[in-house]
Amino acid sequence: MKRQAAAFYSIIQAAIWGTYGFLFSFANRYLLARGLTSLRIGLILGVATGISFLLQPLLTALTDRSRFFTCRRILFLCAAMMTLCAAALLLRLSTAAVVGLYALACVCLQVLPAFANALGMNAVRSGRALNFGLSRGIGSVCFGVSAQAAVPPIARFGLGTVPFCSAVLGLLLMAAVSVFPELEARPDGQAEQPTPALAFFRANKRFAVLLVGVVLLYIGHNVLSNCMYQIAVYKGDGNAQGTALLIAAVIELPTMFLFSKLLKLAKCERWLCLSCVFFSVRLALTLLLPGVAGLYAAQAAQLLGFALFTVSSVYYVGMRIDKRDVVKGQTYLAVANTLGCLIAHFLGGALIDGVGVGAALGICTAISVLGGAIAIGSVVSKSAGKQPA
């Protein structure tokens, strides 16, 4: 059953990130075909991100107060809602209904990773033979594959491919979650009571500081991703956007697949600190290295930046936050990520329009350096070691 749990968890990650490859990669194209402008699409996706930012801690509070709404059940219900929204998009609907359903599907999708991460860390701490980095890497592979594989059927069958494939992956996700073992309960059948939010932050002050650093790190990271086309034009070839993002995605995989090996060389805290440095390195290299070749070369920093942070931060929360509060810790980590993404939605374009691409990259690099310093300071502080294992 332990190996089956690992296989089911890999399917969970694959289905979530595969759906990202459809819903988010083709959001602009899908909604433009319904007559929306790029500005309105940006606002819709920004609002969806903002709602998911507010929803994640509310759902975590629900898991704290109810024995029924466990992490696994929240994951299943959000997956079900996303699947229903995607399936409904296959019907003949008004533009307003399409926008509402698409936005709601995106809200549900953005909630899923936090609870999937918490589910995985609960499994690891319960003794399941589960390699989180490998599973998360499979998710990244499925994101890239789905984004590329969607192009031929879209050309042949139309943009209905996007909600159809999203609904299929949603059903796969629901099936995998439903058979994944329930791990929240204690062996004696009495559920541990999670710590209330304020008490949680009082007991984990350094973790709260870490979250501030994460927000700042993700601002620069998401501006770089969201504005890659403008950056590619600045470097000399707008068509380099896709190649640069593909390089960044592919180069993540070795770190994610081999992170369990890295943990044998050093504790997750050290890898987390190293990843914070390379967030800024990628931005700085993107700014400083000339031409399209320089843009491509800068993406190599993704290997020790975002990829390393994605797995090391989840392990850090899973191993340093009390087991009863793992869901809360993973959710707050995801909320910090979402907040950084939300700020980047509005800051990136404003900076590029206001001061140009070069200056925008410089400002984002400075923000990232500050975020990295805050995050590293919170992790290496002696007080961080007092968190319960």
Question: Considering the domain boundaries, does residue 192 fall inside one?
Answer: no
Question: Considering the domain boundaries, does residue 113 fall inside one?
Answer: yes
Distance CA 143, CA 263 (A): 25
* 244 and 362 co-located in one domain: yes
Question: Considering the domain boundaries, does residue 360 fall inside one?
Answer: yes
Handedness of CA 311, 314, 320, 323 (dihedral sign): negative
Question: Considering the domain boundaries, does residue 185 fall inside one?
Answer: no
DSSP label at 289?
Answer: S
Q: Alpha carbon 305 to chain centroid distance?
A: 14
Burial per residue of 5-27, b for 16 or more beta-carbon CB atoms within 10 angstroms, e otherwise = bbebbbbbbbbbbbbbbbbbbbb
Of the candidates 179, 207, 235, which is a domain's last residue?
A: 179
The H-assigned helical ranges of 89-204 are: 95-125, 132-149, 151-157, 161-179, 197-203
Question: Considering the domain boundaries, does residue 67 fall inside one?
Answer: yes
pLDDT band at 248 (very low <50, low <70, confident <90, very high): confident
- pLDDT over 70 at 239, yes or no: yes
* 127 and 33 co-located in one domain: yes
* 268 and 152 co-located in one domain: no
Cα-atom radius of gyration of the chain, to the nearest Å?
20
Question: Considering the domain boundaries, does residue 190 fall inside one?
Answer: no
Question: Considering the domain boundaries, does residue 249 fall inside one?
Answer: yes
* 151 and 226 co-located in one domain: no
Q: Alpha carbon 138 to chain centroid distance?
A: 14
- pLDDT over 90 at 380, yes or no: no
* 158 and 91 co-located in one domain: yes
* 43 and 112 co-located in one domain: yes
- pLDDT over 70 at 386, yes or no: no
The CATH number given to whatever domain includes residue 231 is: 1.20.1250.20
* 13 and 47 co-located in one domain: yes
* 157 and 218 co-located in one domain: no
The residue-averaged pLDDT of 303-322 equals 87
* 106 and 203 co-located in one domain: no
pLDDT band at 285 (very low <50, low <70, confident <90, very high): very high
pLDDT band at 184 (very low <50, low <70, confident <90, very high): low
pLDDT band at 273 (very low <50, low <70, confident <90, very high): very high
Question: Considering the domain boundaries, does residue 189 fall inside one?
Answer: no
* 68 and 213 co-located in one domain: no
pLDDT digits 0-9 by tens, 164-177: 999 999 999 999 99
Q: Alpha carbon 75 to chain centroid distance?
A: 15
* 11 and 153 co-located in one domain: yes
Q: What pLDDT is recorded for position 278?
A: 94
Q: Which of 219, 36, 252, 224 is nearest to 143 (CA)?
A: 252
- pLDDT over 70 at 191, yes or no: no
Q: What is the pTM (predicted TM-score) of this model?
A: 0.76
Domain span at 97:
2-179
Q: What pLDDT is recorded for position 190?
A: 45
* 237 and 160 co-located in one domain: no
The residue-averaged pLDDT of 316-340 equals 83
Work out how many domains the chain is built from and give that number: 2
Distance CA 385, CA 207 (A): 11
Number of other residues whose CB lies within 10 A of the CB of residue 91: 10
